[in-house]
Amino acid sequence: MSNTKKKSKASSNGHRPRANARGVADAFVRSQPKNSKTNGTPGNGNLRTYEIPDYRLEHPNFTVHQAIEKDKQGHEQVRYEVEGDLNTPVPPIRDSKYLSKQQAIEIYRFMLLNRKMEVALENLYKQGKVVGGVYFGLGQEACSCASAYALDKDDWFAPMIRNQGSLLVRGFRAADTMMQYMAKADSPTKGRDGTSHFGDIEKRNMVSPISMLGDLIPVLSGVALGARLQERNVAVMTYIGDGGQSTGVTYEGINFAAVQNLGLVLFVESNLWAYSTPSEMQYRCKDLAERAIGYGIPGVIVDGTDACQVYDAAREAVERAHRGEGPTLIEAKMMRMKGHAIHDAAAYVPKPMFDFWKKRDPIARFENYLVKEKKWLTAKENESLIKEVEEVIEAEREIAVNSPMPTPESAEGGVFCEEGCHEIKPKYGMPKVKKGTSGYKETEAAVHLK
């Protein structure tokens, strides 16, 4: 690929207006091929079209490509350049079909907790208290918090590294995540792993993520399969980035959920940058929601910086899962507003992109919506809410900082579930089994290799 060659508009991959972008769509109608009336198509004239509901109120229209620039000494350097309209006005928040005033405020509070926890983590890092790096969900708080908020108590989820807000919504403490980052003895993994890499199969139904991307998708599908064998349709929510979805196991996992009609709610977080690689170098299709067509499942697009859109799409997908209607793919469009981790200044991101998305800060937009548009919060109430959240985070920080480091010897043990360590029993009740009348008889069938 030539570095100087600019991408043609035709190869743009998704941040341009769709020709027939629908406003309010009836989400989750299974994509059905439709006979088009268009003439001149090959063969018998049957042109199949599919619908991807798009909740967004704007369709950002720009692409990133590689270009050669000259530095001050005249040496050539390859850089990313953005091309397109970056001056469009910020759209309003779309009113939720479902959220009450109280629920909207609660999501807003989780988003504040999410952000202020990450600010605290950044400070802890600067104080040398963090082991390793810090990963941020800046700009993605609406997606993490409003998605997890749509889950019922019995549902399951698994976050990715930036979904630290989802953990708060599901009832983990900010101190849990902080202690993970500081590798403390009281962290959920007792120092054995960091970041959001922990889980809880008892109360909060969370599967621990691993660093390899996409592997959670079949695992969450399996959770839904296990629950279904126990006669429960649970929703299982997980996330994948526009980078992570490039992995083969992503395909395997979604396809498995589709074939088995399992209640997977997959958020594809299109945050434009996978470490330093722009989404244009990850995939070629217009929008990742289009992948859903290939899986034969519903796909939908939301503005990932609009908590109401994220919640509505998540809720409808969760309800589908509860009805046993199978998986849903939700593409949430937004931008990762920091580097891959704290060490990374993201100098490769063209500055106009930061400026564009900064105006779409999910918390500022939601705050404006609640305070100024809906008037569900007075300025004073908002102020005291922010203060309360800051106090919570400060108290959590204290707990985390005061936890001791684990002893060296605590590295040992626990490799296996030994006698009496866990009782394995079906979480939702013993499966009711129906047995056929045929009994055991020896097999005499031919086999592949003898």
Looking at 91, 132, 222, 296, which residue binds another protein (CB under 8 A)?
222
Using DSSP's 3-state secondary structure scheme, residue 224 falls into helix
- Tell whether residue 447 is a contact of another protein (CB under 8 A): yes
Using DSSP's 3-state secondary structure scheme, residue 53 falls into coil
- Tell whether residue 203 is a contact of another protein (CB under 8 A): no
Catalytic site residue 251?
Answer: no
Per-residue x/- track, 109-128, another protein (CB under 8 A): --------------------
Looking at 199, 278, 298, 350, which residue binds another protein (CB under 8 A)?
199
Q: Please name the amino acid found at residue 42.
A: P
Residue 153 structure tokens: 């108590």
Q: Which is nearer to another protein, 136 or 156 (CB)?
A: 156
Q: Which is nearer to another protein, 199 or 278 (CB)?
A: 199
Give the residues across from 156 on adjacent strands: 236
Least distance (Å) from another protein to the CB of residue 149?
Answer: 23
Using DSSP's 3-state secondary structure scheme, residue 443 falls into coil
Total residues interacting with another protein, rule: CB under 8 A: 67
The answer to whether the beta carbons of residues 271 and 139 sit under 8 Å apart is yes
Distance (Å, whole) CA 151 – CA 362: 20
Catalytic site residue 340?
Answer: yes
The single-letter DSSP state of residue 52 is -
Where would I find the H helices in 334-405? Answer: 351-358, 362-368, 379-402
Q: Which is nearer to another protein, 107 or 220 (CB)?
A: 220
The single-letter DSSP state of residue 54 is B
User: Of residues 336, 360, 365, 397, which has the active-site annotation?
Assistant: 336
- Tell whether residue 153 is a contact of another protein (CB under 8 A): no
Sequential DSSP letters for 122-184: HHHHHTT-SSS-----TT-HHHHHHHHHT--TT-EEE--TT-HHHHHHTT--HHHHHHHHTT-
Looking at 7, 18, 22, 427, which residue binds another protein (CB under 8 A)?
427
- Tell whether residue 224 is a contact of another protein (CB under 8 A): yes
The answer to whether the beta carbons of residues 397 and 120 sit under 8 Å apart is yes
b/e 101-117 (16+ beta carbons within 10 angstroms → b): eeebbebbbbbbbbbbb
Catalytic site residue 30?
Answer: no
Q: Which is nearer to another protein, 180 or 271 (CB)?
A: 180
Distance (Å, whole) CA 66 – CA 76: 12
Q: Which is nearer to another protein, 19 or 415 (CB)?
A: 415
- The footprint of another protein on residues 328-387 (CB under 8 A) is none
In angstroms, how far is the first alpha carbon of the chain from the final one? 50
Q: Which is nearer to another protein, 42 or 420 (CB)?
A: 420
- The footprint of another protein on residues 250-269 (CB under 8 A) is 251-253, 255-256, 259-260
Distance (Å, whole) CA 414 – CA 115: 34
Which residues does 219 contact at the CB level (< 8 Å), separation at least 6? 158, 207, 253
Looking at 207, 310, 318, 370, which residue binds another protein (CB under 8 A)?
207
- Tell whether residue 171 is a contact of another protein (CB under 8 A): no
Least distance (Å) from another protein to the CB of residue 437?
Answer: 8
Least distance (Å) from another protein to the CB of residue 434?
Answer: 6
- Tell whether residue 219 is a contact of another protein (CB under 8 A): yes
**Residues of the shown chain interacting with another protein in the complex, contacts defined by CB under 8 A:** 188-189, 192-193, 197-199, 201, 207-208, 210-212, 215-227, 229-230, 236, 248-249, 251-253, 255-256, 259-260, 414-417, 421-422, 424-428, 430-436, 438-443, 445, 447-450
